[in-house]
Amino acid sequence: MDKILVQNAGKFEGQKVKLNGWVYNSRRSGKIGFLLFRDGTGIIQCIIIKNDVGEELFDSFKTLTQESSISVVGEIVKNDRAPGGFELLLSSLEIHQLIEGYPITPKDHGTEFLMNHRHLWIRSKRQHAILRIRHEIIKATRDFFDSNDFTLVDTPIFTSNACEGTTTLFETEYFGESAYLSQSGQLYGEANAMAFGRQYNFGPTFRAEKSKTRRHLTEFWMVEPEIAYCELDENIEWAEKLITFIIDRVITNRKIELETLERKIEDLEKFRGEFPKISYTEAVEMLHKGGFDFEWGGDFGSPEETYIAEQFDKPVVVHRFPTAIKAFYMKRDPENEKVVLGMDVLAPEGYGEIIGGAQREDNLDFLLERIEHEKLPQEEFEWYLDLRRYGSVPHAGFGMGIERVVSWLCKLPHVRETIPYPRMIQTLRP
């Protein structure tokens, strides 16, 4: 007899199989019982008919409580009335642990309660679906870069300096000196790109900002491609292709999960392909037409960003920002010194910035000028400046926040549900 997984049940139609898992829910209607059984790959309904299985097994079924651990044996049969299309005609039941008082009942709960029980909440259908889509998005991201001749080159998490000198970092003691948890692997990514041509790094990122919004975590995952001999337009193209590839994969491989989340595939399909592109200056004009009192040179706040994204039904690329509001490493536009060759991708439906990137400044003197102007400690950047001393080339890259992409593609109200154990200003446990 085969030991199988719920997600493969359809392939075993007509066969007697065994499944190991947990009770999702159960109900009875007289002499017939319905057991929703989950094993981590899906949920299958088991049917227990008293007259077929006998009184002893039926009584045993009646004792089952939510999340008790069990193994079931039975025949897989097709039945359109069952969720998932297949069900299991139960013939034997082994109880490993009968439990009492599982805290998460199949009724309404508040976010605080659920977050305090996050270690259990991830068993629930909806959370499970989100995390499976997260996996698909991460897998697709890796597959995309791997199949486009990128090399994965990891970057350190302990760093000695602020990468951009802007955001607040988590400080930690490192054998007698201060170290900071990485807020981006980008500078190292640039070194890697000079060594490997096309590289990506993918790891956790830490920001100590006391942000309390639906878009922020203090610990999140970011993928950062960096490409040698690449300019802004090509950089944008890579971003478009990556997002399109991810959406295709999610649509193809995670239909059940999308359905659980009531995310319409037709909506996701619209997001693919080439994205509309506007310059910062054009975006400012757009804001003026929309009645915003906004001065050229300022950074977009949340309301501005949302308004711009709302004008499009696809992700929109905003490029060429004022130099003053962007990081020191962004290359100044040779055609307009006031702007840099940066680009942001704003997701539709109010999900905000999912990608931020730029062509990097490859001229040593300009870079030194910026470091001085921003009052950054030059000695900390000597290794980075070496990249401009020894074989400098045009190069570009971007960072994509995984949680924001998951949040958007799943159409969630908050990023905290996109990561198994979210770290936020007020959340450190479980």
Partner RNA sequence: UCCGGUUUAGCUCAGUUGGUUAGAGCAGCGGACUGUUAAUCCGCGUGUCCGGGGUUCGAGUCCCUGAACCGGAGCCA
Interaction site with RNA (CB under 7 A): 25, 27-32, 34, 45, 47, 49-51, 65-66, 79, 81-83, 87, 100, 103, 105-113, 115, 166-167, 184, 207, 209-218, 220, 222, 299, 301-303, 305, 325, 344, 352-356, 399-401, 403-404, 413-415, 426-427
Nearest to 187 by CA among 361, 391, 49: 361
> Which of residues 273 and 303 has its CB atom nearest to RNA in the complex?
303
Using alpha carbons only, what angle is made at residue 201 by residues 223 and 180, rounded to the nearest 5 degrees? 90
Contact 35, 76 (CB under 8 A): no
> Which of residues 142 and 423 has its CB atom nearest to RNA in the complex?
423
Query: Least distance in Å: CB of 98 to RNA?
Result: 10
Using alpha carbons only, what angle is made at residue 146 by residues 183 and 412, rounded to the nearest 5 degrees? 55
- What is the amino acid identity at position 79? N
Cα 422 from Cα 137, distance rounded (Å): 18
Query: Least distance in Å: CB of 113 to RNA?
Result: 4
> Which of residues 277 and 414 has its CB atom nearest to RNA in the complex?
414
> Which of residues 159 and 218 has its CB atom nearest to RNA in the complex?
218
Query: Least distance in Å: CB of 323 to RNA?
Result: 13
Cα 286 from Cα 402, distance rounded (Å): 29
Query: Least distance in Å: CB of 211 to RNA?
Result: 3
Query: Least distance in Å: CB of 423 to RNA?
Result: 10
Provide CB contacts within 8 A for 411, sequence distance 6+. 261, 263, 349
> Which of residues 213 and 378 has its CB atom nearest to RNA in the complex?
213
> Which of residues 7 and 427 has its CB atom nearest to RNA in the complex?
427
Using CA atoms, how far residue 128 sits from 39, 263, 412, in Å, is: 11, 15, 13
> Which of residues 31 and 373 has its CB atom nearest to RNA in the complex?
31
Nearest to 269 by CA among 306, 243, 304: 243
Give me the residue label for tokens 């001065």.
Answer: 295
Query: Least distance in Å: CB of 26 to RNA?
Result: 8
Query: Least distance in Å: CB of 84 to RNA?
Result: 9
Nearest to 426 by CA among 111, 201, 11: 111
Nearest to 238 by CA among 190, 274, 194, 277: 274
Contact 346, 315 (CB under 8 A): yes
